[in-house]
């Protein structure tokens, strides 16, 4: 009897360990996460329009049908990424996710404060390599540090009424994301920013 109780207690304790390990490991081992689902249908370092949310579209759960959505799946190993999103009439937002769907940054048209949301996305190492004077001359440039080299940028434009959906989609079609064509000129003495 005591032996049976021992088996149960040790089993439950080990079970707690299994539970904690599996919860922490899930983001890394999940094969049906959003990034994996989007990989076959999106181009790397380019904007891909997603089909509208409707009952037949089971790409991702809980998509907002009032929004036109586009994805830029990125890989920063070839250099920083430049993103340009013209804002639509109603509401436009840009959200950044790591490879494991951690939402590390999001901005909307009003907080961007311009007609075009313009951002530079780079890894922390690439940010540190930026020549200092360049950062001064382009003070209005918004630089985002990505915690991982790969990830997702989600561009969304709201259609406040169903009839305005073509307009929302058109504004996302004008969006662009891509590796910067000319790498930023290296300073003569490359040095860390900090």
Partner 1 sequence: MRLLFITLMTLLIATGVGVGATWITTTRGTEFGTLTIGAWTARPKTGTSDVDPYSRATITRNGELPIGTGDGVAFSATSDDKKKPLDGRCDVVVSGVTPPARFWTLTLYDKKGHLVPNTLQRYGFTSQEIVRGADGSFEIHIASRSRSGNWLPTGGIERYALMLRLYDTPVGVATRTQRDAPMPAIATVGCP
By CB under 8 A, name the binding residues for partner 1: 3, 7-8, 10-19, 21-24, 26-27, 30, 32-34, 36-37, 53-58, 60-62, 64-66, 90-91, 93, 95-97, 100-108, 110-111, 147, 152, 154, 156, 158-162
- Residues comprising the chain, all counted: 194
Q: Which residues of 149-180 are buried (b: 16+ CB within 10 A; e: fewer)?
A: bebbbbbbbbbeeeebbeebbebbeebebebe
Using the minimum distance from each CB to partner 1, give the nearer residue, 110 or 191: 110
Using the minimum distance from each CB to partner 1, give the nearer residue, 145 or 179: 145
Query: Smallest distance, Å, CB 148 to partner 1?
Result: 12
SS3 of 171, please? helix
Alpha-carbon gap, residue 154 to 112, rounded angstroms: 16
Using the minimum distance from each CB to partner 1, give the nearer residue, 107 or 175: 107
Alpha-carbon gap, residue 25 to 23, rounded angstroms: 5
Query: Smallest distance, Å, CB 154 to partner 1?
Result: 6
Alpha-carbon gap, residue 86 to 23, rounded angstroms: 39
Using the minimum distance from each CB to partner 1, give the nearer residue, 6 or 132: 6
Query: Smallest distance, Å, CB 29 to partner 1?
Result: 9
Query: Smallest distance, Å, CB 59 to partner 1?
Result: 8
- Joined tokens for residue 172: 């996302």
């Amino acid at each position: 009897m005591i032996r049976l109780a021992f088996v149960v207690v040790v089993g439950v304790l080990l079970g707690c360990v299994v539970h904690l390990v599996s919860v922490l490991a899930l983001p890394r081992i999940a094969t049906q996460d959003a990034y994996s689902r989007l990989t076959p249908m999106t181009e790397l370092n380019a904007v891909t329009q997603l089909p509208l949310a409707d009952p037949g579209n089971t790409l991702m759960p809980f998509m907002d049908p009032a929004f036109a959505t586009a994805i830029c799946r990125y890989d920063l190993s070839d250099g920083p990424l430049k993103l340009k999103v013209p804002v639509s009439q109603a509401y436009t937002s840009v959200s950044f996710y790591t490879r494991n769907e951690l939402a590390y940054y999001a901005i909307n048209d009003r907080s961007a404060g311009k007609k075009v949301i313009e951002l530079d996305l780079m890894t922390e190492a690439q940010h540190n390599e930026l020549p200092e004077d360049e950062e001064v001359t382009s003070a209005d440039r918004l630089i985002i540090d990505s915690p991982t080299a790969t990830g997702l940028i989600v561009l969304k434009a709201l259609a406040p009424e169903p009839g305005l959906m073509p307009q929302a989609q058109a504004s996302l079609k004008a969006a662009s994301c891509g590796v910067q064509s000319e790498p930023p000129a290296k300073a003569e003495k490359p040095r860390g920013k900090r």
